[in-house]
Structure 1
């Protein structure tokens, strides 16, 4: 008799990686929770997008018909809420809110004759922790008093901005296939000791990014954060743009202009934690410890000194997903880089962990956070078919870059965080002659199949005080004295040569996308240090010195020119879109790495002193080749030792080139 029992199909993630077979039940759990939750949301709300629209109801909204403002707040455990401001002389009994006990929502209507657009206000909340004046959770604009430094909410009717980027989604489809990301912080993007603005970034920095060839800008610190030195990672007001940089309309204008230039804009999204501040943030908002966050130790991150969301609570899930939708709908962001998801995905937050075995990916997992990330990715790609999502994860969790139905989390890319760590470790701990080409090859190729990554030599993490950028690590104090174009210096020569090579190798070998932090493309000489008590609240190191790269008498121009040509080469020849990487030669004795990607041949000679005439190596595609990029070119600060006009013929699958030390060559078949 035939069995009628239907055999379960194996999730695709396990077919792609059979080593995951022992964890099949965990993976099935991922798929099941996602499907059940999505079905519940769609049944109850009509769609995921509708579910993620609570920002249209909660917070303060102007009603044109009634000529006034509706203000609604979720505060289920509060005893009383009232609206206070200049409009009612901050009288806590003047405008009391009414509670709907069924859903914990408080509501009040205030006429326009009382509360006007631009007026500042707060909500007074009485709960188990006493009575406190708070900033509304869904507020869209806040202001800070220059004298008292107190934050207040601002009543705004809505945007009047006229967008001109409706057809940008077509360009975005192409960009997402090979993102070349320029990571930037608005406030420190200008050469002045003060806050840079959205307008200044649009007018002065966008043209630079366009010229360099990058097709994505990743903006940091966009959401309001009370401590500027947190780099924007201690968010207080999730729906409000940072007031230091200008108005919300200015931010919209910046994004609109970037789209006109063919550049996508993504946000560095911080949903992994929230500032613990009481006055500005969500901490104990309704008087309870567990409204938005977990109670007790589970709700506190020891390393970050911040609060941790309860992703398993429906209202919190809705709050965060609404935040995802809000910035796409209201500001036309093209996606997100999700910050700190290792901390979200594990109860141990990745602290002091070594992820060296598959068991570590399925122990101590915060399944609610994983579910949130699955839904967030689903939402982004529903709202923007070609939206871009990137995971910042140090664990290497399997499936981050696979679809939810296959057992994955749904990201388009994850950051290859091991690559910059490797470069820094190599530069710190080994002499040039000790570098192992096999190890370099392995690290840059060590990524999960079918899960694309964004490779980078360094990001903002390597640029802040306490660390050093690659340029500063290579050249250090010599940069202050020997960067004149006509000043030969061995330390600077080595630094410029290796700076170019590390970036070219990282881009061409390390992943399916590439990232650079603002100013690092030209070797910005100093670290980043935001105003803080320890530096007497100075802005001196919270800036970018564009005058250095603009000065034709200095060597910074060489690094910038090389970076520009490297980026344009990657775009023109679709380097990142080619998944086929062919190893041609790994020569540890001569410190040479040679490989093909797509139809290009890359030859890197890392040897400190050895240049090799007629260096011969295997090349499978016969024909005549010509050099299309040579890092030793004089225009890049090199020594012009290689004749780029020579034809290099592949005969019997062998190629010969003049491989000069500390040089990378890129060749293309004629």
Structure 2
């Protein structure tokens, strides 16, 4: 192994570090012929000695050799193959022996056991057509509707392979374009939902081996479903056997707790300015995309990375070199990751969970932005959920909560998220955020989802909210699937299915999501009626009108301005009996716009707007213009 090139790793430019470090099964020349075994390599520059211990040597430890000038310890152990258990034994400068899991392990023992496992993939992918199509895709101008899933509890304690048929059948039936998995990197603490990662390169082993996960993703691709994965580069837990103080020094984290610890979360913060850490993390991002064919990464807690004073009091943080609060090293790192991933694998997405107004999150890095494809619209989520939780009589005084998002709608490329974070820890499930009796709860939630699906931006809904689950998310139990057969729940589930299909079938709802030319208000000021109406325009010339009523009072003769005369087909009515609505208020499938100016528009139509409901109309230039009243 003399002359082994680790220059890229030390310069921050190694984007495939998993190929050099960790464990790899090899066959090498020997005096009596080829010898099979495993090469182990680990970065531990402050160690005095390093051994690899495993079930192949009685956990006694086989010494590794320090490669001069690299800080990497490596060695070849004959006879060790796939499935072998191992850990690194590290002697610190202080004379203490540490036992550590491999930071680059590609497989790990099931918790509570913590050993790493030698692994080589034998999986044969069959998604060439999907990858070729993805490489030609432009996500910002395509329909994207995401089903967020905690895979460990979605259908109870099932494995990757076992889940494949059920997940594909359900997501296909519901009509989502993508699934997004809460983090699937190895995490021993189940209630962290995957956000406290101990094995960045190892898929969670409680659901199977790495090739079982490959099988699930391959099957999803075959069914035309994209796969997004939560990625957690902002922090990592303090488990003694994992990354923290890896060689007795602050190797992956900052030594200064003002920079290196999240006291709120009890975790360490990566040292984004250290080149080897940059190589580790950018390699990890690429690893999930290259090795598991993931179609995009949703980056967790970006705001905590961007600001040095995030969740800190005065005197508890260290300013940057210019005296500011921005974490310049983290900003450079995010630009680097986004640029590399998009250049390396065209068509993939990176998505920022970023809760502040940091500028240019989705602007290309070359233009001074962070380079993400999309950003979660946390402002839209907070404002609209605040409105949703008010009694209808009080909503008129908070009308702007539903319209304010259009003030900044074009500042970023947005995803509208109703995620797991909104239905945990006392926040209440979606159905229980809404006041009133069950009729009002379900009707309001149907109207809200239709508002969400017609609003500029892509869509994301967390599992269980598509049928109005009443309990909050609990990672230890699956959603209450049995209620989806009941009144209200079933109607809501059927509505989400039709929202997804109607959304995908109408380019007006997604092809101009990021420019003012894709949207116009019909009436943004009907606060007294708790009503909102607007137009969406497609790149193909399609026009869709959305009218939403958050009042329990119907509007029997509401005149709305429209940009074109003629037939406007009613393609959605959330008050339909099929959705467990009243079924008493509708427009016989269409309305006719006459050349009667109204508001800013040359034509108008009189519509029936049901209580606590939403309507969508699509202009049909070839439709009949007979008088329907």
- Which TM class, normalised by the smaller chain length? 0.7 to 0.9
Corresponding residue to 2:504 among 551, 571, 575: 571
Partner Cα separation in structure 2 for residue 634 and residue 171 of structure 1: 39
Corresponding residue to 2:462 among 517, 532, 536: 517
Q: Give the corresponding residue for 1:119.
A: 84
1:585 aligns with 2:523: yes
Q: Give the corresponding residue for 2:124.
A: 162
Check the 8 A contact 1:436/1:591 in 2, yes or no.
no
Give, in angstroms, the shift of residue 210 of structure 1.
1.2
Q: What do residues 87-142 of structure 1 show as CA deviations (whole Å, max 9, x unaligned)?
A: 111113xx101112411010111002xx2321211110110351111101101111
Partner Cα separation in structure 2 for residue 544 and residue 494 of structure 1: 22
1:397 aligns with 2:397: no
Alignment of 1:249-398 (within 5 A): 249-279=211-241, 281-349=242-310, 363-398=324-359
Check the 8 A contact 2:307/2:325 in 1, yes or no.
yes
Backbone CA RMSD of aligned residues: 2.3
Alignment of 1:464-503 (within 5 A): 464-474=424-434, 491-503=437-449
Q: Give the corresponding residue for 1:561.
A: 494
Check the 8 A contact 1:340/1:392 in 2, yes or no.
yes
Q: What do residues 173-204 of structure 1 show as CA deviations (whole Å, max 9, x unaligned)?
A: 155533211111110110x4xx2321232111
Corresponding residue to 1:81 among 42, 45, 50: 50
Which of structure 1's runs of 4+ aligned residues deviate more than 6 A? none
Check the 8 A contact 2:85/2:117 in 1, yes or no.
yes
Q: In structure 1, the residue corresponding to 2:529 is in which secondary structure?
A: coil
Q: Give the corresponding residue for 2:27.
A: 64
Alignment of 1:597-636 (within 5 A): 597-598=536-537, 599-609=543-553, 611-636=554-579
Give, in angstroms, the shift of residue 238 of structure 1.
0.3
Q: Give the corresponding residue for 1:666.
A: 616
Partner Cα separation in structure 2 for residue 453 and residue 408 of structure 1: 15
Give, in angstroms, the shift of residue 426 of structure 1.
2.8
Check the 8 A contact 1:471/1:524 in 2, yes or no.
yes
Q: Give the corresponding residue for 2:200.
A: 238
Q: In structure 1, the residue corresponding to 2:370 is in which secondary structure?
A: coil
Give, in angstroms, the shift of residue 282 of structure 1.
0.3
Q: How has the CA–CA distance of structure 1 residues 436 and 624 changed in structure 2, closer, same or farther, with 3 Å as cutoff?
A: farther
Check the 8 A contact 1:628/1:644 in 2, yes or no.
no
Partner Cα separation in structure 2 for residue 98 and residue 49 of structure 1: 23
Q: Give the corresponding residue for 1:647.
A: 591
1:226 aligns with 2:188: yes
Partner Cα separation in structure 1 for residue 216 and residue 427 of structure 2: 31
Check the 8 A contact 1:619/1:650 in 2, yes or no.
no
Q: How has the CA–CA distance of structure 1 residues 352 and 339 changed in structure 2, closer, same or farther, with 3 Å as cutoff?
A: farther
Partner Cα separation in structure 1 for residue 593 and residue 446 of structure 2: 26
Partner Cα separation in structure 2 for residue 548 and residue 447 of structure 1: 38
Partner Cα separation in structure 2 for residue 291 and residue 606 of structure 1: 50
Unaligned runs of 5+ in 1: 1-43, 354-360, 476-489, 531-538
Q: How has the CA–CA distance of structure 1 residues 669 and 496 changed in structure 2, closer, same or farther, with 3 Å as cutoff?
A: same
Give, in angstroms, the shift of residue 351 of structure 1.
5.7
Partner Cα separation in structure 2 for residue 49 and residue 250 of structure 1: 32
Q: In structure 2, the residue corresponding to 1:250 is in which secondary structure?
A: helix
Q: In structure 2, the residue corresponding to 1:668 is in which secondary structure?
A: strand
Q: Give the corresponding residue for 2:66.
A: 99
TM-score for both structures, normalised by structure 2: 0.88
Q: How has the CA–CA distance of structure 1 residues 512 and 351 changed in structure 2, closer, same or farther, with 3 Å as cutoff?
A: farther
Structure 1 range deviating more: 361-370 or 412-421: 361-370
Q: In structure 2, the residue corresponding to 1:284 is in which secondary structure?
A: coil
Aligned residue pair count: 579
Give, in angstroms, the shift of residue 554 of structure 1.
3.6
Q: Give the corresponding residue for 2:153.
A: 188
TM-score for both structures, normalised by structure 1: 0.83
Check the 8 A contact 2:87/2:116 in 1, yes or no.
yes
Greater helix share, structure number: 1
Check the 8 A contact 1:626/1:644 in 2, yes or no.
no
Q: How has the CA–CA distance of structure 1 residues 440 and 623 changed in structure 2, closer, same or farther, with 3 Å as cutoff?
A: farther
Partner Cα separation in structure 1 for residue 17 and residue 589 of structure 2: 62
